[in-house]
Amino acid sequence: MSLAHSEVYNNHSDLLFPDEKSLVTACLAGDRRAQEAFYRRFAPAALVVCRRYANGRDEAMELLNGGMMKVFQKLDKFRWEGSLEGWVKRLVFRSTIDQFRAGKQRPTLEIADWDTPSEATVTQSLYAEDLCRIIDLLPETSKEVFWLFAVEGYNHAEIANQLNFSEGNSRWHLNKARQILRKKLQSQSFKPNRYAG
């Protein structure tokens, strides 16, 4: 599809599905145009997540397509309590981990302690699925802020705008998430998953 044709297609799909709710409703009804429009709208942001763990664009596209398949399968579970794009990216991330697990490959993440620059930075290498397990232990808002800041790369102003509260609240929730994660990482009770082979 040419760039001009793609732009016409996107403008046309925007007219058919002017907001996310109408788009999701049409997707759930099996409307192929809606599903294509949904993919075009959310795939670029989800691809950014996949590229962090893939060895090249082809593998990233495979991970993306597997992840978007999972998104369509679970679309009826979205409850409109947060950002649809954030929900899509989280599902694609989890699908990426599942795909690596099935292939016996293990992506890793470098998790840093994002305190003030004057403090020593503590970096610990974790398998991404282990990180998911401990992030899931966070309170809901702190989890959302941590995810947006640490995984998706948003700054506090962007997070505050997206979640409808102040930058101070964003910083508070990030600090709370850091403290909980630090304790979990240092705790004897947290045992990372490891494959026997």
- Which of these three, 47, 71, 105, is where a domain ends? 105
CA gap 53, 182 in Å, rounded: 24
40 and 96: one domain? yes
> Under the phi-then-psi rule, with left for phi > 0, alpha for psi from -120 to 50, and beta for the rest, what region is 30?
left
Cβ partners under 8 Å of residue 86, min gap 6: 144, 147, 148, 152, 162
If you ran DSSP here, which 8-state letter would residue 120 be given? Answer: P
Query: Per-residue pLDDT for 67 more than 60?
Result: yes
> What percentage of residues in the chain have a pLDDT greater than 70?
71
- Report whether 172 contacts 114 (CB < 8 A): no
115 and 101: one domain? no
**pLDDT classification of 172: cutoffs 50, 70, 90:** very high
196 and 143: one domain? yes
Q: Which residue has the higher pLDDT, 152 or 44?
A: 44
Domain that holds residue 65: 1-105
- Which of these three, 66, 88, 105, is where a domain ends? 105
68: domain CATH number is 1.10.1740.10
pLDDT score at 38: 96
Q: Which residue has the higher pLDDT, 167 or 12?
A: 167
36 and 123: one domain? no
Q: pTM for the complete prediction?
A: 0.56
| Mean pLDDT of the region 74-97 | 88
CA gap 195, 188 in Å, rounded: 19
| Mean pLDDT of the region 57-73 | 93
Q: Which residue has the higher pLDDT, 128 or 94?
A: 94
87 and 164: one domain? no
Q: What is the 3-state secondary structure (H, E, C) of 103-132?
A: CCCCCEEEEECCCCCCCCCCEEEEEHHHHH
97 and 182: one domain? no
Chain centroid, CA 59 distance in Å: 18
- Which of these three, 105, 122, 153, is where a domain ends? 105
Rg (CA), the chain: 18
Choose among 68, 62, 77: nearest CA to 37: 68
Tokens 């996107």: give the residue. Answer: 10
Choose among 171, 64, 58: nearest CA to 114: 171
Q: Bridge partners of 127? A: 108
> Of 8-17, 34-43, 107-116, where does mean pLDDT reach its minimum?
107-116
113 and 101: one domain? no
